[in-house]
Amino acid sequence: MSWLSKIRDFLTRRETVISGGGPKAIEKQLAMGKLTARQRITAILDPDSFYEYDLFVEHRCADFGMDKKALAGDGVVTGTGTIMGYPVCIFAQDFTVAGGSLGLAHARKITKIMDHAMKLGIPLIGINDSGGARIQEGVNSLAGYGEIFYRNTLASGVIPQISVILGPCAGGAVYSPALTDFVFVVEGISKMFITGPEVIKTVLGEEISMEDLGGARVQTEISGNAHFYADSELECFEQIKKLVTFIPWNNRKKADPYPPKPPKPGHDVEKIIPSEPNRPYDVRDVVRAVCDDSDFFEVQKHWAANIVVGFARMHGQTIGVVANQPLVLAGVLDVDSSDKAARFIRFCDAFNIPLVTFVDLPGYLPGVDQEHAGVIRHGAKVLYSYSEATVPKITVILRKAYGGGYIAMCSRHLGADFVFAWPSAEIAVMGPEGAANIIFRAEIQGAPDPNAMRREKVAEYTEKFANPYIAAANGHIDAVILPAETRDFLIHAMEISAQKAESRPSKKHGVPPF
């Protein structure tokens, strides 16, 4: 073959593989409102930055007529590129090729790009759109999944791992995204479940649609499996780009600093907390009033909304924000909010992101449901994750900090480096109402007007204990500060702890309560 013929032959081969499952399958994919694997990669990465590898990988399966079936790229596209200038490894399953089903060669392409990401110390992005284990390949498909899960686990805490669910992600396949740090879903497109509607109908006799079983809303609002929800694939890709700017490439680096910006005008930190102690407010207003450009990028916004977690910047540096949300269940810690906070805290600690905690909660949620659902075990995760974290930890007590909630929300006792409290802070074993009812029970019951006596005793307790000064007198907090001073104190605390190095007892690993 002449040189020119070889080039032509190569171009034809490449064109064939790049056309995936062919025009009909692509048409079907687009008709479902989905982009193709390569369109998705191109839309996520910087223009012209994608370099594809393993284009000509082929499966070795001869069963069920597979020896006569060439599958373009074995149904997955892999490569490297950049997002906003940050290098990433990426793979996208191609549903137009055998439903993106995962055979051994398909899995090996994925594990190879995962190994690259680990060696190069750069984030991994995986786009899932697949019918699951390739049925014809039997146990070899299962082997492939196992090899992916193994690497997801080894990569955890070493490089950020991002999963994007853009089609079916069913059966055991869901466990790769579940092992990664962030899961993105899109309305009407993402479908994630262990057992599908048909199995549920057969085994349980219940009818349910894929959407109601494991659609985007279910995974973001009910199960908490997904972290980001979008109405369209393009909106989802913008979210991914934004996330990448907040996090470092790997666990040996810090997130890149950005040019510092003051909060936007109109965010007045003095005017957020209502004067009545039981009136709710949106804690995100506090975050926006103190962070750079009032830009708060919330994670798991739609699930366990009684706690708020997400990324922001303080004088150009990324911070991880954890804040009780008085708007929902008065900001209590419960089973789900404990899980949400603990996982986020561990991500920030693994990736050198300082933690800033805003506290306003009456404690853990009481009730039979919570006790039976394991609020003890789940709540312990918050204590564990804050205690083991060695990144700079800065806490601001805004209002209520009662009981176990006070301790759990990154108190000095769990190793906070700086604890500040606003004058509105109430740091006590429990709220004044509950406390007065218990310690003054005899006086209240014996009084001619028990209600008047209760009011008097609540006022007495509030005056004495519902303030930050006893904690300040004991050195449990470092400073009582004005709300308007919060940003300056936070920036200074971040700068002064930039070189913080704290060690922990030597061990193979801890045994957290998960």
Interface ranges with ligand HXC (CB under 6 A): 98-99, 101, 131-135, 142, 145, 168, 170-173
Q: How far is the CB of 182 from ligand HXC (least distance, A)?
A: 21
Q: Does residue 451 sit in helix, strand or coil?
A: helix
- Smallest distance from ligand HXC to CB 72, Å: 12
CA angle 209, 215, 219 (to 5 degrees): 135
CB of 339 to ligand HXC, least distance (A): 23
CB of residue 378 to ligand HXC, shortest distance in Å: 26
Comparing CB distances to ligand HXC, the nearer of 138 and 280 is 138
Whole-number minimum distance, CB 145 to ligand HXC, in Å?
4
Q: How far is CA 498 from CA 257, 291, 354, 390, 481, in A?
A: 12, 17, 9, 12, 22
Kindly state the smallest distance separating residue 230's Cβ from ligand HXC, in Å.
21
Q: In whole angstroms, how close is the CB of 188 to ligand HXC at the nearest point?
A: 13
Backbone angles phi, psi at 447, to 5 degrees: -80, 150
Nearer to ligand HXC, 91 or 489 (CB): 91
Burial status of residue 369 (CB atoms within 10 A of its CB: 0-12, 13-18, 19 or more): exposed
Strand partners, 357: 322, 395
Here the tokens at position 124 are: 């991994």
CB closer to ligand HXC, 146 vs 423: 146
DSSP β-bridge partners for residue 324 = 307
Closest CB to ligand HXC among residues 136, 467: 136
**11 vs 194 by CB, closer to ligand HXC:** 194
Nearer to ligand HXC, 49 or 195 (CB): 195
Residue at token pair 């176990």? 404
Which 8-state DSSP code applies to residue 280? Answer: -
Which CB, 176 or 338, lies closer to ligand HXC? 176
CB of 428 to ligand HXC, least distance (A): 49
**Distance in angstroms (rounded) separating the CA atoms of residues 76 and 476:** 55
Phi and psi torsions of 292, nearest 5°? -55, 130
Distance CA 307, CA 259 (A): 29
Query: Is the Cβ of residue 194 or residue 452 nearer to ligand HXC in the bound state?
Result: 194
Residue nearer to ligand HXC on the CB measure, 130 or 395: 130
Query: What is the smallest separation between the CB atom of 93 and ligand HXC, expressed in angstroms?
Result: 11
Structure tokens given for 252: 């040996």
Chain centre to alpha carbon of residue 371? 25
Minimum CB distance to ligand HXC, residue 130 (Å): 7
Query: Residue 429's closest CA among 484, 370, 363?
Result: 363
Of 171 and 188, which has the nearer Cβ to ligand HXC? Answer: 171
Q: What is the dihedral of CA 191, 192, 198, 204, to 10 degrees?
A: -130
51/48 Cα distance (integer angstroms): 8
**What is the DSSP-derived secondary structure letter of residue 354?**
-
The one-character DSSP state at 218 is I
- How far is 290 from 421, CA to CA, in rounded Å? 15
Q: Residue 195 or residue 437: which is nearer to ligand HXC going by CB?
A: 195
Write the CA distances from 168 to 9, 32, 229, integer angstroms: 35, 12, 16
* In the complex, minimum distance from the CB of residue 18 to ligand HXC, in angstroms, rounded to a whole number: 18
Neighbours of 119 (CB within 10 A): 10
Shortest reach from residue 181's CB to ligand HXC, in Å: 20
Furthest CA-CA distance within the chain? 109
Give the residue with the Cβ less far from ligand HXC, 1 or 139.
139
Which residues, at least 6 apart from 247, have a Cβ–Cβ distance to it below 8 Å? 123, 160, 255, 311, 318, 351, 353
